[in-house]
A and B are shown apart, each in its own frame.
Chain A
Amino acid sequence: MQLGELKLGESAVVVNVGGEGQLRKRFLDLGITKGTRVTMARIAPFGDPVEIQLRGYRLTLRKSEASIVEIEPAEDSE
């Protein structure tokens, strides 16, 4: 599953950050690393970009960009 496919309010855990170069590095720098818990917090009025909650803060990114992040649904729900 990809990060962009997460539905509003759903949580998941990052499995792998794919892609390459600048965008990938930026995601890693911002804390989207393996095992990080992410929650879909908001979707912009026109459906894109989206807002992800992670590590106690919120990050905006476009769905197309989020597609490089592989996730699996979180087993527990905090």
Chain B
Amino acid sequence: MITAALVGNPNCGKTTVFNKLTGAVQKTGNWPGVTVERKQGFLRGAPKDDILVVDLPGIYSLSPYSPDEVVSRDFLIGDSESRPDVAICIIDASNLERGLYLLTQVADLRIPMVVVLNMMDVAEKIGMRVKADALSEILGCPVVETVGTKGQGTSAIGEAVQSAYEERTVPRTISYGNAIDDCIERLIPIIKETVRDDLLRWVSLKIIEGDSMVMAELDESTAASARSVVEELEQQVSDDGMQIIATARYKAGEAIRDGCVEHTESVDESERISERIDRILLNKYLAWPIFALVMFTVYLVSVQTVGLAISDYINDELVVWVQDHAAEAMDSAGVDTVVADMMLTGVIGGVGAVIGFIPLIALLFAFLVFLEECGYMVRVAYMLDRVFTYFGLSGKAIIPAVIGIGCSVPAIMGTRVIEDESNRNVSIICTSFMPCSAKLPIITLIVGAFFGASALVITSLYLFGIVMILISGLFLKKFRGFIGRPSPFVMELPVYHMPTVRNVMFGVKEKSWSFIKNAGTIILLSAVLIWALSSFTFTGEYLGDSATTDSILSAIGKALCWIFVPLGFGGSETWELTVASFTGIAAKENLLATLAVLLDSAVGIDGLPTMEVLTEYLSVTAYPEAVAMSFLIFNLICAPCIASIAAIYRELHSHRKLLLALLYQCATAYGVAGIFYQGYVLLHGEVGLGVLWLILFIAVPVYVILSKRPFGFITGGKEEVQE
């Protein structure tokens, strides 16, 4: 078996080529850093041996500073027994110099190499013809031309890999000029004893560069003598090693480019279509209104009008129809009433409440995938950066936040595009503040019941998520471990391109699937469990259609609901909301499924928790709309679902940090929902003990944010963590 590693710059089309090679359906996207983990698959139609293709995250060099670059570097260096057999170096032909800069580094690793010149079509459009045979001649290894998006040329890669493997076509040694080449010659004898033979040249260059990871592996005396050789070079060239090597590598790349590029009629760079689009979308005055309009349109179409109409139809017509027919069928078949009730209320009611939202969610996903794929999302990060830096965050934090509108799990993993660790930690903890697709049904329901399904209110909730992330940036910065500067905003704005229908459909399918899967598993189980707990007493007596007031669940809810008194929904008459909040931890869709089961008997109306049911249910409270909103806010911000908690743990790598993250999320949710409810009550002229809560909820975060002195995690204590 041949192991082939796919290496290349970010956004050079690696994943597209990988998908074409293996027939896999990995996520692609039009922004740098889509692939954050190693992915592998067998090459389809391999000419002879099995070829295992490993897709590595995009990198600019092998001096890793960010986690995804470490993944690539470690894999390529490997250890003496396991190294990839062949490196497939993918170069964006329209961005040749930067690709060649990385190629020189991979070439120094002395692995047989295949070069793939991707995006040949784009290169031709900007007036460049890259001659593959000339490049192959210069490098001494096979070169394949491809247009990954159209699948052109990718079939030749398999054969090139096979021949590179058999003939061990290690690229020719690349010269970096006499001064550097001499220095390498002098370094090799010094490190020969401690470094693997195949890495001698690469390690020598890394020593000149002053690479901390390489230097740390040398023993003291070797490092010292190597250092003195490098100092001589530095004096000779009167520059420092890092800059010497980078400049020399780019020079070498330019020389290779000059040997293989033919300039055809040059198209004026500034007249490219992308540039024209950017002149409007990134215009000083139009950029913001356009962004607001785009987001508003997305919610108007997917949530308020089209999506809601389809979902309503499913909820009001289809599910009720299924319920009616199932009831009839079970009645005539003589099914036991307990079982029939479980099926109707628990299974069909609970799962149906969630399933009904699939069209709405799929539509929302289609828009988001389109915005991501076409290249607009990165530009939003670029636009927002100025605002985010004010809060100590990078504009890049918007990318996980927007992915989080779909699902928090990929969003939390997507935080890896943020280099700075403290910045990344803030994003990991706060990304779930964005209302994910599972929270959307409950938003739609509550906003529908109390705020006339206003698209403005719904859009505001997403803005609210972003605001909470920004405030958290200021807040968390006051704690040790989160203190840091905004991550650098050094990135590429990819060229706009029209996403293919297939890519959008794939994105929609992938994202909706987890939603459907949840409905079939965890929500089904929870719905049945909640039905059972609400239908039986502690003594095991079946309550049937009668009120759930004596049930096990109501006892638990009533015992715990006092927790939410300052938030307005802690009264024993709304204990159902407490239970729903707890079941939301398993999956946010549960909020609705739980209410579907519980409100059924609480209000005495059959069917799903429609807006009417909810309005009637909350009519017993003094301020129904405030109670509903407070409940909504709490559940948007508080600890996310189990899957997201697992993702947070994976990214934070620490139980203690995870615990603090969850504590922060719940405390923030509690505080913000409290501010809303108590503020609402106060504005309606009711001055009571609630004012004390309001003061506490506002004073604590303000105190922390204004504090000059950072807090320790342990010494911070309970007061400081609560917001």
Contacts and interface: CB of A to CB of B under 8 A. Distances in A.
A10 to B, nearest CB: 14
The 8 closest A-B CB pairs, nearest first, are A28-B246, A46-B386, A29-B61, A29-B60, A45-B287, A33-B247, A22-B65, A55-B97
A5 interface: no
B97 A23 contact: no
A60 B490 contact: yes
Nearest to A21: B65
Given A24-B242, A34-B247, A29 B489 contact: no
A65 to B, nearest CB: 5
A26 B284 CA distance: 28
B490 A44 contact: no
Contacts of B654: none
Interface in B98-113: 98, 101
28 contacts: A22-B419, A22-B488, A23-B488, A25-B242, A26-B65, A26-B490, A31-B250, A33-B246, A34-B239, A45-B285, A45-B383, A49-B382, A49-B395, A53-B269, A55-B97, A56-B95, A56-B96, A56-B126, A57-B95, A58-B492, A58-B493, A59-B490, A59-B491, A59-B492, A60-B491, A60-B492, A61-B488, A61-B489
A38 interface: no
Contacts of B283: 45
Interface residues of A, number: 35
Contacts of A25: 61, 63, 65, 242, 246
Interface in B378-395: 382-383, 385-387, 389, 395
B500 interface: no
B94 interface: yes
B94 A56 contact: yes
Interface residues on chain B, size class: 35 or more
A45 B98 contact: no
A13 to B, nearest CB: 13
Interface string A29-49: 111011110000011111111
B493 A65 contact: no
Contact of B284 (A29, A45, A61): A45
Interface of A: 16-17, 22-31, 33-36, 42-49, 51, 53, 55-62, 65
B256 interface: no
Contact of A31 (B63, B97, B288, B488): B97
A40 to B, nearest CB: 13
Contacts of A46: 383, 386-387
Contacts of B250: 31, 33, 36
A62 B488 contact: yes
B545 interface: no
B460 interface: no
B488 A45 contact: no
Interface centre among A28, A48, A65 (most CB of B within 10 A): A28
Contacts of B282: 42, 44-45
A55 B255 CA distance: 14
B80 to A, nearest CB: 27
Given A25-B65, A42-B278, A53-B269, A30 B490 contact: yes
A36 B278 CA distance: 25
Given A30-B98, A30-B490, A34-B243, 5 more contacts: A44-B386, A45-B284, A56-B97, A57-B95, A57-B98
Contacts of B101: 29, 31
Interface in B467-525: 488-493
Contacts of A61: 488-490
Contacts of B493: 51, 58, 60
B243 A60 contact: no
A48 B278 contact: no
B385 A62 contact: yes
B104 to A, nearest CB: 12
Contacts of A59: 490-492
Contacts of B387: 46
A62 B395 CA distance: 11
Nearest to A47: B386
A48 to B, nearest CB: 5
Contacts of B239: 34
Interface string B266-303: 00010000000010001111011000000000000000
A44 B246 contact: no
Interface in B387-413: 387, 389, 395
Nearest to A66: B490
A22 B63 CA distance: 9
Given A24-B242, A34-B243, A65 B490 contact: yes
Contacts of A33: 243, 246-247, 250
Interface in B408-457: 419
B96 A45 contact: no
A45 B242 contact: no
Nearest to A18: B243
Nearest to B491: A60
Contacts of A42: 278, 282
Nearest to A55: B97
A30 B243 CA distance: 12
Contacts of B287: 45
A31 B98 contact: yes
Nearest to A27: B490
Contacts of A22: 65, 419, 488
Contacts of B269: 53, 56
Contacts of B288: 45
Interface in B647-662: none
A24 B241 CA distance: 12
